[in-house]
Amino acid sequence: MEISFAFFADAATVPNDGKVYVLGGGFSALALAQLPGMASFAVVAGFRFNAADAGKVHIIELRFVDNLGKLVLPPTTMRFESAGPPPPGAGEVSVSTVTVLQPALGEPGEYAVEFWRETTLLSTVRLHVLEQQQPLSAPGSPPPA
């Protein structure tokens, strides 16, 4: 089992056809109007399973952490189980996932989503959180609302 991709998106879904449909995907920075503040985004990830993974249960834990490695949200657990090997000629099976996160972010800085398999870190996707700067007003104009 391996992770083939992982990224942030505004929204995403994986319907029955198994394809990933993404809106606003691939960003690495998030600007909030003010901090502390609430955010909402999707974490899109793809996992590949080969014949050696058949008949095994794979537990992956998604952790959203701050720059000190402290959990911002409780971990999300993903469970994968294959009843049999990939179809003949396919060699592998790909499974895409979407996890929606809605964290309260206290300060600007670097955050990350980490994918763990037991005690092994499989992949990390970093997110830079910024506080959106208010535009400067021209002399004589009212301050921004």
Q: In angstroms, what CA-CA distances link 46 with 20, 33, 49?
A: 9, 31, 10
- Rounded CA-CA distance 9/12 in Å is 7
Query: Could you tell me the domains of the chain?
Result: 2-131 (2.60.40.2550)
Give the model's confidence band at 90: pLDDT under 50 very low, under 70 low, under 90 confident, else very high. confident
Q: What is the pTM of this model?
A: 0.85
- What is the pLDDT of the chain when averaged over all its residues? 90
pLDDT at 19 over 80: yes
More confident: 52 or 97: 97
